[in-house]
């Protein structure tokens, strides 16, 4: 019997333009991008003429804020355009070079404006607030001033701030190196089905392969994917070590007690929020053990393996074209009103917010990215699965959060914190899931829908808290001056997953242990735990909106429009949830437990 033909991912050039992000809405051509980049590199140094002058008068300060905000917006467009192009095709070496140039531009801008905060601090809080009240062009700075003086102990002299700003460019290389290596240069061996078909394995296909009903496809995909990373474990370990040491450097340079404090202080979030999450997760690990037992029984296997986590429990999984996904998501989001839904639909179907399908060189996963003045774009690899509907709903939550923030806030408040970012995305998934559960009574569809929910909870309420525990330990080792190696990382990761899997799951320690290398999120200091706090706040808020609680939808939209004009915890309180306690996390584990119960019932 002849081998089945190997199917390959299409090159970027074969993706229909209507299925790609609307790059020309940002810059009409790469030449236009190059022209703007060169112009900005010439104009940014002009901001230096304000150095030493911000204390002259409210008018001078307002002039500086207006000019620097305008340059940051333009530079943001340059930065976004280049990095989006690279993410969609890391084989595009021109885009890779542009991303490097844009990073240098942002670093230059940060270094050039480093004098501003030390000068404002030197003015004193009360005099500065008087200026804010006197000069209409400064009115919007009241929250910024409060936050600036809150951070006063960690703002260094102008010279030190300039050096820290310049350090951003070389330090950013570690994340870029990881992306290039894992998206372009690791030669993943193809997966092989039980019938001998060779299946292309890459960042754009791994999730689809792991969701295959064919166990041999899943096994070879999972093992070959892990083996690709294991072959480069020392390089990846050294690279992640550099990122961790970068975090330690910044924390010490700004005089924080720890990297955790440094990461959370920026957004006025207490470290207790981190430990609340980790402690609540550990208390609820038995819920996961129960889920593994139900999944093993439903699959009819003697031993559950990690590659069985995504195995379909029904053979009748729905095929959902992209346009149908947009319709379902629009219907699910109706509780937020006609304007919200109309904007979302227009973005998906007319304005090309979404780079939809997989192609060679496209980076792993999905994200929403843009800048005030652009569309809130989405990069993903849509494969017509219910899981992809969920991913699209998730990223549209981010995009609508950005859209409403950009519509309602000045530039200085448009970069909302990571602590609130994952609320909007998971909120959308919760509403869409509720809509589909109510409108599709078919048993197989409900099983597939619960599997989608469990896959999302697995990522947010199992993987991410586990990575958070790993991240904390690795940073603490670095803070103590202990050596960090790929072997140590893999051992710790395997230990943590073994605790979470319990006796129901076989643990291949090397392949499970290399999970740390598969998540670029670890290059963002203490980001991963905020996925779990985000899904917790999202389900607590969705409960009120779905129940028709008076003001719940309106307060949630106000939260989306607030950006960083409020501290994250205050913004969430405005929406209707208090994240200073573990209540929302416990409540969401209750949602998880109900899904486990329902799956147990449906699969018997």
Cα Dmax for the chain: 84
Mean pLDDT of 541-567: 96
pLDDT confidence bin for 183, thresholds 50/70/90? confident
Tens-place pLDDT, residues 420-467: 999 999 999 999 999 999 999 999 999 999 999 999 999 999 999 999
Strand partners, 378: 354, 368
Q: 429-463: buried (b, 16+ CB within 10 Å) or exposed (e) per residue? A: bbbbbbbbeeeeeeebbbbbbbbbbbbbbbebbbb
What whole-number distance in Å separates Cα of residue 545 and Cα of residue 112? 45
Give the per-residue pLDDT at 486: 97
Q: Which tokens is 599 given?
A: 């799956």
Nearest in space to 366 (alpha carbons), one of 350, 351, 381 = 381
Is residue 11 within 8 Å of 32, Cβ to Cβ?
no
Could you give the C-alpha distances from 435 to 12, 42, 113, 331, in angstroms and in order?
35, 52, 48, 7
Is residue 77 within 8 Å of 415, Cβ to Cβ?
no
Tens-place pLDDT, residues 42-82: 999 999 999 999 999 999 999 999 999 999 999 999 999 99
Give the per-residue pLDDT at 317: 83
Minimum mean pLDDT range among 144-158, 223-237, 369-383: 144-158
Nearest in space to 162 (alpha carbons), one of 105, 110, 102 = 110
User: Which strand ranges, in their side-by-side order, compose the sheet holding 377-379?
Assistant: 354-355, 377-379, 367-369
- The per-residue DSSP string of 321-345 comes to -HHHHHHHHHHHTGGG-HHHHHHHH
Nearest in space to 186 (alpha carbons), one of 199, 201, 171 = 201
Give the per-residue pLDDT at 418: 84
What whole-number distance in Å separates Cα of residue 134 and Cα of residue 132? 6
- Return mean pLDDT, the chain: 94
Give Cα 160 to chain centroid, integer Å: 30
Minimum mean pLDDT range among 7-16, 463-472, 506-515, 587-596: 7-16
What whole-number distance in Å separates Cα of residue 435 and Cα of residue 232? 44
Nearest in space to 546 (alpha carbons), one of 401, 447, 440, 428 = 428
Does 6 score more than 50 pLDDT? no
- The per-residue DSSP string of 81-132 comes to HHHHHHHH-TT-HHHHHHHHHHHHHHHHHHHHTTTHHHHHHHH-HHHHHHHH
Q: Provide the sign of the torsion angle of the four alpha carbons 335, 340, 341, 347, taken in this order.
A: negative
- Residue in the block written with tokens 């005030």: 372
Residue 117 a catalytic site member: no
Does 514 score more than 60 pLDDT? yes
Range list for CATH 1.20.140.70 in the chain: 12-174
Give the per-residue pLDDT at 291: 97
Structural class in CATH, domain 232-319+418-604: mainly alpha
Does 128 score more than 50 pLDDT? yes
What whole-number distance in Å separates Cα of residue 417 and Cα of residue 151? 16
Give the per-residue pLDDT at 5: 38
Could you give the C-alpha distances from 342 to 331, 347, 348, 545, 574, in angstroms and in order?
11, 9, 10, 19, 25
What whole-number distance in Å separates Cα of residue 434 and Cα of residue 429? 8
What whole-number distance in Å separates Cα of residue 491 and Cα of residue 512? 9
- The per-residue DSSP string of 471-510 comes to HHHHHHHHHTT----HHHHHHHHHHHHHHHHGGGB---HH
The single residue of 161, 179, 223, 395 carrying the catalytic annotation is 395
- Residue in the block written with tokens 């994952």: 422
What whole-number distance in Å separates Cα of residue 73 and Cα of residue 56? 26
- Residue in the block written with tokens 């995504």: 310
φ and ψ at residue 367, rounded to 5 degrees: -155, 160
Structural class in CATH, domain 12-174: mainly alpha
Q: Which tokens is 576 given?
A: 């209707």
Is residue 378 within 8 Å of 356, Cβ to Cβ?
no
Does 510 score more than 90 pLDDT? yes
């Amino acid at each position: 019997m002849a081998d089945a033909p190997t199917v390959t991912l299409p090159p970027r050039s074969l993706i229909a333009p209507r299925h790609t992000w609307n790059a020309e809405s940002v810059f009409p051509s790469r030449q236009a991008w190059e022209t703007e980049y060169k112009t900005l590199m010439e104009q940014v140094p002009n901001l230096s003429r304000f150095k030493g002058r911000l204390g002259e008068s409210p008018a001078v300060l307002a002039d500086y804020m207006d000019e620097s905000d305008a340059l940051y917006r333009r530079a943001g467009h340059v930065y976004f355009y280049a990095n989006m192009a690279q993410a969609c095709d890391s084989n595009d070496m021109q885009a890779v070079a542009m991303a490097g140039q844009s990073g240098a531009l942002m670093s230059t801008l940060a270094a050039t404006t480093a004098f501003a905060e030390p000068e404002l601090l030197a003015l004193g809080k009360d005099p500065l607030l008087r200026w804010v009240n006197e000069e209409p062009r400064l009115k919007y700075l009241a929250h910024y001033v409060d936050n600036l003086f809150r951070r006063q102990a960690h703002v260094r002299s102008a010279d030190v701030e300039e050096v820290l700003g310049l350090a951003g460019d070389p330090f950013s290389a570690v994340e870029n190196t990881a992306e290039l290596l894992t998206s372009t240069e690791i030669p993943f061996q193809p997966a092989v089905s039980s019938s001998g078909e060779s299946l292309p394995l890459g960042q754009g296909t791994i999730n689809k392969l792991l969701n295959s009903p064919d166990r041999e496809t899943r096994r070879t995909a999972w093992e070959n994917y892990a083996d690709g990373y294991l072959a480069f474990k020392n390089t990846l370990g050294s690279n992640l070590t550099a990122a961790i040491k970068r975090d330690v450097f910044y924390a010490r340079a700004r005089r924080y007690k720890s990297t955790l404090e440094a990461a959370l202080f920026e957004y006025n979030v207490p470290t207790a929020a981190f430990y609340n999450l980790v402690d609540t997760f550990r208390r609820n690990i038995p819920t996961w053990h129960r889920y593994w037992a139900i999944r093993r029984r439903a699959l009819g296997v003697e031993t559950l393996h990690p590659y069985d986590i995504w195995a379909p429990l029904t053979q009748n999984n729905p095929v959902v074209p992209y346009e149908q996904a947009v319709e379902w998501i629009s219907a699910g989001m109706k509780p937020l009103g006609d304007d919200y839904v109309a904007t979302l639909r227009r973005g998906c179907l007319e304005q090309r917010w979404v780079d939809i399908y997989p192609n060679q060189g496209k980076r792993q996963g999905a994200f929403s990215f843009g800048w005030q003045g652009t569309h809130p774009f989405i990069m993903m690899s849509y494969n017509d699965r219910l899981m992809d509907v969920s991913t699209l709903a998730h990223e549209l939550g981010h995009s609508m959060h950005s859209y409403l923030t950009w519509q309602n806030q000045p530039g200085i408040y448009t970069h909302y914190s990571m602590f609130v970012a994952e609320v909007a995305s998971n909120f959308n998934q919760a509403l869409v899931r509720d809509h589909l559960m109510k409108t599709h009574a078919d048993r197989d569809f409900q099983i597939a829908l619960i599997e989608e929910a469990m896959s999302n909870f697995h990522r947010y309420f199992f993987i991410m808290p586990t990575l958070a525990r790993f991240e904390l330990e690795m940073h603490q080792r670095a803070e103590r001056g202990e050596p960090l190696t790929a072997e140590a990382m893999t051992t710790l990761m395997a230990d943590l997953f073994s605790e979470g899997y319990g006796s129901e799951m076989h643990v291949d320690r090397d392949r499970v242990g290399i999970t740390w290398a598969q998540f670029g999120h670890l290059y963002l200091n203490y980001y991963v735990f905020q996925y779990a706090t985000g899904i917790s706040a999202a389900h607590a808020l969705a409960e009120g909106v779905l129940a028709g609680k008076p003001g719940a939808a309106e307060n949630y939209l106000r939260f989306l429009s607030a950006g960083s004009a409020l501290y994250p915890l205050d913004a969430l309180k405005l929406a209707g949830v208090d994240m200073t306690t573990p209540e929302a996390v416990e409540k969401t584990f209750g949602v998880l437990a109900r899904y486990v119960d329902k799956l147990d019932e449906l699969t018997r």
